């Protein structure tokens, strides 16, 4: 009986040691899992901050693009108005399409050459502006409306046109 008691005690100790080892391994595994979860949470927080920054940059870009679009549309309107106002002063229609030349008999004598040169200069300027606006449309990826604008010319010098 004494031997059986010792044997049972040894068996119980052995089982206790195995169980303690399994509990310790499980505790270490739990610590490792918690550490990995903390690392993943830190990465998610970092990526969330980057996503927020990218969204902010996108909104800033969108606002700048819309502002540039509005500025270009307004500038184009001013230039169209400037060109058309020159046509109206000469008694021509306000169409942006080139007008056919009047008959030689109907032209007033003197000064008609200067008016024709002025009109050609206006058409060249308009062509350059339209080309510039189209290039910028392609760069920023927007479509400007193809309608008439109203504008006021503030100052016109030989080097530039100030509109406001």
Span 32-89, pLDDT tens digits: 899 999 999 999 999 999 999 999 999 999 999 999 999 998 999 888 888 888 766 6
Pair of tokens at residue 8 = 């049972």
Run of H or E residues at 138:
helix 112-140
HEC secondary structure over 27-69: HHHHHHHHHHHHHHHHHHHHHHHHHHHHHHHHHHHHHHHHHHH
Tokens of 12: 């119980």
Which token pair is 30?
A: 């739990």
151/74 Cα distance (integer angstroms): 8
pLDDT of residue 82: 85
Question: Which of 22-36, 68-82, 98-112 has the lowest average pLDDT?
Answer: 98-112
R_g (Cα) of the chain, nearest Å: 41
Residue 73 has which token pair? 């549309």
Q: Quick one: pLDDT band at residue 104, thresholds 50, 70, 90?
A: very low
Residue 18 scores a pLDDT above 70: yes
Comparing C-alpha atoms, which of 154, 127, 150 is closest to residue 73? 150
On whether the CB atoms of residues 78 and 163 are closer than 8 A, the answer is yes
* Coil/strand/helix, residue 15: helix
């Amino acid at each position: 009986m004494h031997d059986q008691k010792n044997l049972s005690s040894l068996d119980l100790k052995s089982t206790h040691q195995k169980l303690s080892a399994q509990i310790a391994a499980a505790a270490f595994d739990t610590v490792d899992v918690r550490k990995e979860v903390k690392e993943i949470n830190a990465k998610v927080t970092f990526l969330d901050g980057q996503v927020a920054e990218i969204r902010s940059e996108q909104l800033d870009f969108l606002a700048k693009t819309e502002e540039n679009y509005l500025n270009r549309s307004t500038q184009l309107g001013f230039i169209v108005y400037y060109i058309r106002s020159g046509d109206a002063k000469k008694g021509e229609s306000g169409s942006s399409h080139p007008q056919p030349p009047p008959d030689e008999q109907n032209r007033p004598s003197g000064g008609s050459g200067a008016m024709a040169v002025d009109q050609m200069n206006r058409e060249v300027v308009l062509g350059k502006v339209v080309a510039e606006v189209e290039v910028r449309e392609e760069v920023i990826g927007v479509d400007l409306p193809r309608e008439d604008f109203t504008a006021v010319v503030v100052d016109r010098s030989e080097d530039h046109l100030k509109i406001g």
